[in-house]
Amino acid sequence: MPCSRNKEEVAPSDDYGWRWGELVEGNRNNVKCRFCGRIIKRGITQLKEYLAVKKGNVTPYPHGSVKVRKSIGQQLQEYHREKAVRQRRKEELEERISLGNHGNYGDSGDDDEELTITRRKSVRSQVE
């Protein structure tokens, strides 16, 4: 079971992985596993892969509970699906911008420079 967190301790982000790890002081990319105390380099995602026993980027943690392993595994899969959807959407919007296809916004055919600039900003903000 992971150690309990002090009330003063604040996670660097709202990432669910901070339930099982804590930031190592002096290096924002190192995370300490709350189960075994091992220092995982390259951030919270590596810790989640370590605990989920995902092979490849980090040596898997063989002593983790099945419940934690499944939970992290499901959340990692969800994250990767969402990331792929965001990337596809970003690419589609970038393509629309580069082709000049901004859709029909009910223009009457008048070329208003300010309106055109505002539209482009709006489309670009959707990419971010």
Range of the domain at 20: 16-89
Within-domain flag for 56: yes
**pLDDT tens across 86-105, in order?**
999 999 888 888 877 555 55
Q: Does residue 66 lie in a domain region?
A: yes
Residue 9: pLDDT band with limits 50, 70, 90: low
Establish if 126 belongs to a structural domain.
no
Q: What is the pLDDT of residues 49-99, one digit of tens each?
A: 888 877 776 777 777 778 888 888 888 888 889 999 999 999 988 888 887
Q: Could you tell me where the DSSP H helices lie in 19-112?
A: 44-51, 66-99
**Contact present, 36 and 61 (Cβ < 8 Å):** yes
Question: Does residue 32 fall inside a structural domain?
Answer: yes
Domains contained in the chain, number: 1
pTM for this entry? 0.51
39 in a domain, yes or no? yes
> Is residue 9 in some structural domain?
no
Give domain status of residue 119, yes or no: no
C-alpha–C-alpha distance, residues 30 and 39, integer Å: 6
Q: Is residue 5 part of a domain?
A: no
